[in-house]
Structure 1
Amino acid sequence: MKKVVTLGEIMLRLSTPGYERFVQADQFDAIYGGGEANVAVSLANYGFDSCYVTKLPENEIGQAAVNALRRYGVNTSEIIRGGERIGIYFSETGASARPSKIIYDRANSAIAMAEVKDFDFDHIFEGTDWFHTSGITPAISKQGAEITKAAMVAAKKAGATVSIDLNYRKKLWTPQQAQQVMRELMEYVDVCIGNEEDASLCLGFTPQGLDVTQGQVDSAAYEIIFKQMREEFNFTHVVSSLRESYSASDNGWSAIIYDGNTFYQSKKYDLRIVDRVGGGDSFAAGLICGLLDGKTAEEALEFGVAASALKHTIKGDFNLVSRNEVENLVQGDASGRVQR
């Protein structure tokens, strides 16, 4: 069984019921999730030894987050306990022309205040085949950036493939801050995942002629910057999801990949969205699964896109689908007929 390690912040998500607005809600649904935790759950569902690394407070809320991961088979043995709080975010689900909204309450969370010395990365990465993290982790604090770099160095030392989902978050840092940190980290990255905004704000590569808010995607614009990114940072694969936002309820969803030889665009799915949180994470996990399985870049991309298309139909952060469900969609079974 191949081992995958992910590192990041799991948070408590407080969501308004249904499509209620924050000002309407008198109760919230409690859900646990976060970029790298979402990836860990998906990979555990696909049958990998999926190990999640973070720091959580030694209290009942921290334990509830651990339990949420254990429920789906994630290895939580390397989670460090301590610190004062878990990060929280409030989620309001949009509909039609009204966008979804996120409000963060994550300052001084346990992982944001953690230090490199809290983690025995040489031990954590023993026997690891793949390490995944995101641009959110180095954005949460100076210590978060230091921990991310230390983990990448240890992962490369252990011979693991390293992937990152750039995941720019404007509420956490500025483009200038992001580029100063993220460009340095790219030295250790093999597989770089990110959409057009991420590539521009985190690394300074901007495709021209795109307007995803109007549902317009030009894959040729990506091919140019993918080649530039690979030439500068020597990535094995450069990948981007392509979200065409027709409305908050309906999106077009596909992806592209470049491996130095082939530039490939996947099939596109037209989605009616139940919950888009975790959509990019489910894509990253599907791509990682495909590449670890030995699929070609094109096959791995199709698996990732199909996995993520299914995630958009599932409430919560985690993508609770099986390999068979993803493969069936890849093969073209999108009928939605009742399975008896």
Structure 2
Amino acid sequence: MSGGAVASLPEGLLDGGVWFRVEEPGTASAVRRAAERLAETLGMPGQRIADLSIVATEAAGNLVKHAAQGTILVRVVRVADQAGVELIAVDSGPGMIDVQHSIGDGHSTAGTLGIGLGAILRQASRWDLHSVPGKGTVLSMQVWPDTVPERGWVAGLTRPLTGETVSGDAYAFREIDGRRQVLLSDGLGHGGLAAAASHEAVRGFHGAPAVPPAQVVEALHRTLGHTRGAALAVAELDPESGVVRYAGLGNISGTVLLPEGGRRGLVSMPGIAGHQRRQIREYDYPFTPGAILVMHTDGLVDRWNLTDYPGLITRTPEVIAATLLRDAGTRRDDAGVLVARFS
């Protein structure tokens, strides 16, 4: 994750970051160093970098000592006037039966993130956690240089195919002329050329005028003509009207999760943006208070059920996304997931 790459991120795009598989003490040190370098690149104050160092050290150390299949994502998060560092720790350990009890200092339950968790949470500017016994724990931690911004309404995660260093999946979001829109793209294949196609889709998305999703997808189809192409979808959340507008080409899965427990699949049309399409159609779906929009590439299987995760629908978009990536993501393909909530 180079300083130049961090500095060049468009507003509204969360950097894909770097995933660490945390199994050995040396990896925990690497997580801390990566977080510190990122904070220094962002020009964060020394005290906040020191706080971040504690957060990274403790979170990674806990995974080494107590978790199963632990991973940590280190990345930059941005709002209009500042940037911070986010760490998302994910494990498939036994989980926590009583999260509030586990947060207390000195609590020790082998196999969870509960050990010393209170110390981590005191140093973080913001955090969120979800844990299910038998499934594991997801903990998101953010350290901001100054004022802590309002919680975001959207978050996404991508992870490359095992053996690759870049992901062909990418996401972006924007608020433009009162329109709140999101993009998820899956570049054809994997590796550098797939990533280039999705990065071009992100650039085109940010440069597109404030028009409905179907027109944005049409513009992206033209933009991607010189790339290998991508499956992609654009959604627009309109809380005032109580709808989400959705248009897609190719194999992007979209689902609206309702607060009472129901779910509704969203329709994408066949095709490859940049190369072949028969038609682009836009559909409206009800989107009421408490609803969640989930979009993911075919790097996640569709066999996930939110009822298996009590309370998850109330958590932050990044924790929901990380939970789905952990349990529904495959290692045989790039994986990308985006979660947005009604607000």
Instruction: Answer whether TM exceeds 0.5 for this pair.
Output: no
The normalised TM-score by structure 2 is 0.33
Name the structure where helix makes up a greater proportion of residues: 1
The normalised TM-score by structure 1 is 0.33
Name the structure where strand makes up a greater proportion of residues: 2
